[in-house]
Each structure stands twice: as C-alpha cells, then as structure tokens.
C-alpha cells in the first residue's frame, strides 16, 4: 500500500510529491499523457517564486518591471519596481522542470475516476488501475474530482481566456484594462518577448469581445482558456487534503495561483510527513498553517473584489485618477496585498 497518492501533476501536486518523496511512499496520478498539457495559464509569476522553485532560464520567456493599470476613461496608474518584478514563464516547461525532480512514481494518462474512503485506507481507481493508499492529496485543479468526492468546492469559478499572437513584445510592463461594460474583472496584455498575450477574465469573457477590444480580429493567435477558483472550501478531511487550485488557493485580485499553490504544497508536505496518522484532526494543522501564510491575503482580496464589482466605470475613473498619485502603491507586492 502507498502512503500518499497525489492527484494532479500541476505545480502544486509536483511540489507536494517532491517534498514528500524521500519520507513517504508516493505516487502521482495525472490524467494527461504529457506534463503541462493543456496549458491554460499566462505564467506571470512574481519573484517570490525564487524562494520556492526558481524557474530555470529556458522556461523564462520575458521579465517585467511592473504594471500599467488603465481606467475605463483613460487614466493610467504606473506600478513599478527598481529591478524586475515578475517572470513571464512558459508553464509547460516550468511544470516539466518540476517533474524532473521526482524520483517517485508518476503515472501519466491516469485519470482519477473513483475515490472511496473506508476503514484504514483510501482506495481509488486511476487509469483503470486500482490503488490503495493511506492518504490522498487532491491537487487536481479548479475542477477537482477529489474535492467533488469530498462534497466541497470553491465559492466561485471565474472563466479566463487567452490569445497569444506572434508579435514580438519586449515591454517592461504588463497592462491591465478595466471596463465594467465588458467584464467585472479586467482585460490584460502581457509582453512575452517573442509573442504578445491578450487575455481577459470575469463574466463576459469571450474571444469576440477580446478581439474587438484589442483589435486582433485579423491576427493569427493561439487560444487558451480555463477557470479560476476563488473562495477556498474546507481543505482537510479524514485521509485527504486539497492543495492548489483544488483548494481555491488563488489571488482574488489577479487570479494567479502558482506561488500560492506551491507555498501551500510545501506546508502540506511538512504536515503529511510529520502527521501521527491521517485523521481529520491530525490534518487540521495544514489548514491552520496555510491560512496563516496566505489567508489574510485571500480575505483582503475577496473584499477588494467585492468593492470592484460594485464600482461603476465613472467611480473607477474617479478612484484611479486619485490613486495614481499615491507612490505607496509601488511598494505593493504582487502576492501580498496586506501586511503578512
Ligand atoms: C486564463 C488563466 C490565466 C492564468 N494566469 C496565471 C498567471 O499568470 N499566474 C499565476 O500564478 N496563475 C495563473 N493562473 C492560475 C494558474 O493556472 C493556477 O493557479 C495553477 O495552474 C494551479 O496549479 P495546480 O497545480 O493547483 O493546478 P493545475 O495546474 O490546474 O494542475 C492540475 C493537474 O491535475 C490534473 N487533473 C485534473 N483532474 C484530474 C483527474 N481526475 N485525475 C488525474 N489528474 C487530474 C490536470 O490535468 C492538471 O495537470 C491562470 C489561470 C487561468 C485560467
């Protein structure tokens, strides 16, 4: 019998398996045949990632120094750091670099289709194989099968779409565009070095809207789409935990989840490798600890999101016209809105 099965080979699952593999008998089950497929992510990650798993050079497409926030009426707030603030990484290469660190079993093309909790173990079926383990970690993304089996899910799932055009772009700034007539979140333009990414998230995310806004209708571009889970559910259970997008560990103000998911995966690994049994009570410390690390940020982010949802375009203009003079904004960390 295995000690731990990790469902999902995204950044959260791969980090968790890596941190547990030398202390537990671990297997990762992944539904796709290749790591990082399909890619639904912009891969904009702050330099905080260096403290978790520094992206190898060949994963980095570009680096940015800050962001330009455009209000509906044309006011612009410039946020910038002295050095570079964030990487624009190719998620497929990054995920592959995380997978290369594993020496445990990695079962590709193995979709988790059944989980049953009973007696002293968890039994599951993945890719037609029946597997028994002591504890399961659901790192299977925003539409987590493990979370559904446990009867939980995030508060909201927000759609996001991406168009990547073959236009070289070496700008130092990511650009965010707010327009409540188009989306309750925002649209974006990300310089990716050899290409340019156009995207939007929130209700109303549609490729025809994106094409019209950025005038890219006649350009060739690659499409990606996915969902962003906001508002974490309960994340610890008898013989199970949830981590990463499966646990709603995303930033409510941008939808980014790579740094948060990997941060929480580390905490999960520490708790699992030291746990005295895998009862709900002995895994409770995981939720206490990840909430201590990022709970305040998610709470403040959900509040900011509610505020943004209530503002009209005129109110947004007035707010951004004032806020652009606040130099304090430059001190903001991409991952930490409020003091830790
Ligand atoms: C449009 C868009 C843009 C984004 N841009 C950014 C960004 O710029 N920066 C950022 O930090 N975040 C971004 N995100 C969010 C980011 O993609 C996620 O937070 C991150 O991928 C979460 O990692 P994860 O390991 O939890 O889940 P995932 O990366 O989703 O990995 C889950 C894995 O589980 C597998 N899986 C699913 N179901 C099963 C099953 N039943 N059996 C076996 N395997 C299964 C999947 O195939 C997948 O490999 C974006 C999201 C979207 C939708």
When pLDDT is cut at 50, 70 and 90, the band that residue 327 belongs to is low
Mutation probe of ligand 1 site: the residue of 257, 265, 290, 297 with most atoms within 8 A of C-beta:
257
pLDDT above 70 (res 311):
yes
How is the chain split into domains, by residue range? 2-331
Cα 119 to middle of ligand 1, angstroms? 32
In whole angstroms, what is the distance from residue 279 CA to residue 135 CA?
Answer: 9
The confidence score (pLDDT) of residue 323 equals 79
The mean per-residue pLDDT over the stretch 156-175 comes to: 97
pLDDT above 90 (res 232):
yes
**Pairing status of strand 173-177 against strand 240-242:** unpaired
In whole angstroms, what is the distance from residue 250 CA to residue 258 CA?
Answer: 8
The mean per-residue pLDDT over the stretch 140-160 comes to: 97
The confidence score (pLDDT) of residue 329 equals 67
Give CATH for domain 2-331. Answer: 3.50.50.60
In whole angstroms, what is the distance from residue 95 CA to residue 261 CA?
Answer: 13
Q: Say if CB 309 and CB 184 are below 8 A apart.
A: yes
CA distances from 319 to 62, 66, 246 (A): 31, 20, 34
The confidence score (pLDDT) of residue 318 equals 93
- Per-residue pLDDT tens over the stretch 37-84: 999 999 999 999 999 999 999 999 999 999 999 999 999 999 888 889
Q: Which helix (H) or strand (E) holds 131?
A: strand 129-138
The confidence score (pLDDT) of residue 288 equals 98
The confidence score (pLDDT) of residue 93 equals 98
The confidence score (pLDDT) of residue 300 equals 93
Pocket of ligand 1 (CB under 6 A): 7-13, 29-32, 40-45, 111-112, 139-141, 145, 160, 162, 199, 226-228, 244-245, 250, 255-258, 261
CA distances from 269 to 241, 246, 288 (A): 11, 16, 14
Sign of CA dihedral 246, 251, 256, 262: negative
In whole angstroms, what is the distance from residue 189 CA to residue 164 CA?
Answer: 10
What is the pTM (predicted TM-score) of this model?
A: 0.96
% of the chain residues with pLDDT over 90: 87
User: In sequence order, which residues have a C-beta less than 8 Å from that of residue 144 and are 6 or more positions away?
Assistant: 7, 8, 138, 153, 242, 245, 246
Q: What's CA 265's distance to the chain center, in Å?
A: 12
Which DSSP state fits 265? H
Name the region of 238 (left: φ>0; alpha: ψ -120 to 50; beta: rest): beta
Of 284, 199, 299, the residue nearest 249 (C-alpha): 299
Atom number of ligand 1 nearest to Cα 110? 43
In whole angstroms, what is the distance from residue 315 CA to residue 320 CA?
Answer: 9
The confidence score (pLDDT) of residue 17 equals 98
Q: Please give the radius of gyration of the chain, using alpha carbons only, rounded to the nearest integer.
A: 20
% of the chain residues with pLDDT over 70: 97
Indicate the length of the chain as a whole number.
Answer: 340
**How high is the mean pLDDT of the chain?**
95
Cα 304 to middle of ligand 1, angstroms? 23
Q: Which residues share a beta bridge with 132? A: 123
Atom number of ligand 1 nearest to Cα 201? 1
- Per-residue pLDDT tens over the stretch 77-108: 998 888 899 999 999 999 999 999 999 999 99
Please give the full DSSP string across 143-157, using - where no structure is assigned. Answer: T-HHHHHTT---SEE
Cα 10 to middle of ligand 1, angstroms? 6
pLDDT above 80 (res 192):
yes
């Amino acid at each position: 019998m295995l000690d731990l099965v990790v469902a999902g080979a995204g950044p959260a699952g791969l980090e968790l398996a890596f941190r547990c593999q030398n202390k537990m008998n671990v297997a990762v089950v992944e539904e796709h045949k290749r790591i990082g497929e399909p890619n639904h992510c912009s891969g904009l990650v702050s330099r905080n990632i260096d403290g978790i798993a520094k992206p190898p050079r060949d994963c980095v497409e570009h680096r940015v120094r800050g962001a330009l926030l455009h209000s509906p009426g044309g006011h612009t707030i410039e946020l910038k750091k002295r050095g570079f603030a964030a990487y624009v990484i190719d998620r497929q290469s990054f995920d592959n670099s995380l997978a290369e660190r594993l020496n445990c079993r990695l079962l590709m093309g193995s979709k988790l289709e059944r989980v049953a909790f009973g007696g002293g173990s968890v039994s599951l079926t993945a890719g037609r194989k029946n597997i028994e383990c002591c504890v399961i970690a659901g790192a299977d993304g925003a539409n987590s099968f493990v979370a559904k089996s446990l009867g939980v899910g995030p508060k909201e799932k927000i759609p996001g779409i991406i168009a990547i055009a073959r236009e070289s772009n070496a700008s130092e700034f990511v650009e965010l565009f707010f327009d409540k007539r188009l989306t309750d979140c925002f649209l974006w333009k990300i310089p990716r070095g050899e290409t340019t990414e156009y995207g939007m998230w929130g209700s109303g995310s549609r490729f025809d809207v994106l094409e019209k806004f950025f005038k890219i209708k006649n350009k060739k571009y690659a499409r990606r789409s996915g969902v962003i889970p906001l508002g974490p559910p309960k994340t610890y259970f008898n013989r199970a935990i949830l981590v990463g997008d499966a646990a709603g560990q995303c930033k409510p103000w941008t939808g980014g989840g790579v740094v948060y998911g990997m941060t929480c995966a580390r905490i999960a690994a520490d708790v699992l490798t030291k746990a005295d049994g895998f009862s709900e009570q002995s895994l409770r410390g995981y939720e206490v600890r990840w909430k201590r690390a990022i709970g305040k940020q998610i709470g403040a982010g959900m509040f900011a999101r509610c505020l943004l949802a209530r503002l009209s375009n005129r109110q947004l203009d007035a707010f951004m016209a004032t806020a652009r003079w606040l130099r304090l904004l430059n001190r903001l960390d991409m991952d930490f809105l409020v003091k830790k």
